[in-house]
Amino acid sequence: MSRARSLVVGPAPYVFHHQTTASLMWGAAAALAPAAAWGIYSFGAGAAIPLVAAIGAALVGEAAVAALSKRFTLLDGSAFLTGLLVGMAMPPGISPFIPAASALFAVVIVKGAFGGLGSNWMNPALGGIAFALLDWPKAMGAWIAPRQLADIGAVSGATPLGMVRDRIGQAPAGSSVIDLLSAAGMRFTDFDRGVTDALNGGLFSRLGAELPRGYIDLLVGNRPGAIGEISAILILAASIVLIARRMLRWEVPSAIVASFSVLSWAFGGLPLGNGFFSGDVLFSLSTGSFLLVAFFMAPDPVTSPSTRNGMIVYGLGVGSLSFLLRQFGSGSEGCAFAVLMMNCLVPILDRGRGNRRSARSGALAGGGK
């Protein structure tokens, strides 16, 4: 007796990869764990509460959707990764209700209501973050200083991006962003001083350059900010691991970083009276949610183009919009909304001239799609 076989076809994009969805999701979550752990160390054990609330709510929402659709999907890691990303984008002292509600919105509405895994048109984690930013803007802007700055009289009312934005109109011509941070009351650690002096003495002095104080703290994560976004070094390390293991395509984040960096360099210095091509690229890249969004949410293969040319155009658009929203938007951040706007153009980018050739396989489903 012959046994009938059926081929189950899911929603596009159709990209072959030897890794499973579960391995991609859990791999991304593992790569992000050090950045989340650094946030808990920096802000205290209480910072784990928003993370746990977001992850727990995401799992509950996934279980509810799975029960309705009669498909068990909890073990694929998509809901866990979505909750982790939502929690990492939260201020450390926020009420657990907000990350929980945001994660539920991401999993149940953004993903589940559109058909579940692979059917959503926007990144679920970014959808949940945008939901929180629009519904609780005051709570999402309540920042505290990490423990590394507690003993040096640092201010705790704003992130470095917020400090610069608040004082950029009154800054003397020729000021740098570090000058503005110092004027705002931000202080830097002895660790920053030691590493900066070592780099200047051993490397930059030979090149005729000098690294100002403050950048090491910004890169390492000794600054106010969201729980999982403060350490640029750990986020970059996680992205390098994923790219090396071919769990993340390089085209989208590379295009985002390139366009954002060029625009920040070309026009970022104008508000400070420094002229064209004087913007502080390092500060722009190492602050806010930019790196987390660029490497772990924007490259989602479900909500980003599946062709190489489309990926590059998409990434250039995300980077450009991120710069414009930071410079002229109502808030100091705009990366999440930049990705959501470009998500709307993905069908056009995939059908555009020159984008008909399928890209090679391998992409990270960031945000739990």
Q: What is the CA radius of gyration of the chain?
A: 21
Alpha carbons 34 and 227: distance in angstroms, whole number = 11
| pLDDT for residue 1 | 45
| pLDDT for residue 12 | 56
CB atoms under 10 Å from CB of 350, counted, come to 20
Alpha carbons 226 and 36: distance in angstroms, whole number = 10
| pLDDT for residue 18 | 60
Half-sphere exposure of 369 (CA within 13 A, CB side): 25
Query: Are 319 and 339 within 8 A, CB to CB?
Result: no
Provide the terminal-to-terminal Cα distance of the chain, rounded to the nearest Å. Answer: 39
Q: The tokens 């976004």 sit on which residue?
A: 229
What's the pLDDT tens digit per position in 78-104?
999 999 999 999 999 999 999 999 999
SS3 296: helix
Interacting residues of 12 by C-beta distance below 8 A, sequence separation 6+: 306
Interacting residues of 330 by C-beta distance below 8 A, sequence separation 6+: none
Amino acid at 251: E
To the nearest 10°, report the CA torsion of 155, 294, 51, 329: 50
Cis peptide bond N-terminal to 96, omega within 30: no
Q: Which residues of the chain have pLDDT under 50?
A: 1-3, 353-369
Alpha carbons 317 and 300: distance in angstroms, whole number = 15
| pLDDT for residue 244 | 92
Q: The tokens 């919009």 sit on which residue?
A: 321
| pLDDT for residue 10 | 57
Alpha carbons 57 and 99: distance in angstroms, whole number = 8
Query: Are 158 and 143 within 8 A, CB to CB?
Result: yes
Answer whether 0.75 is exceeded by the pTM.
yes
Residue whose C-alpha is closest to residue 117's, from 10, 19, 6, 246: 10
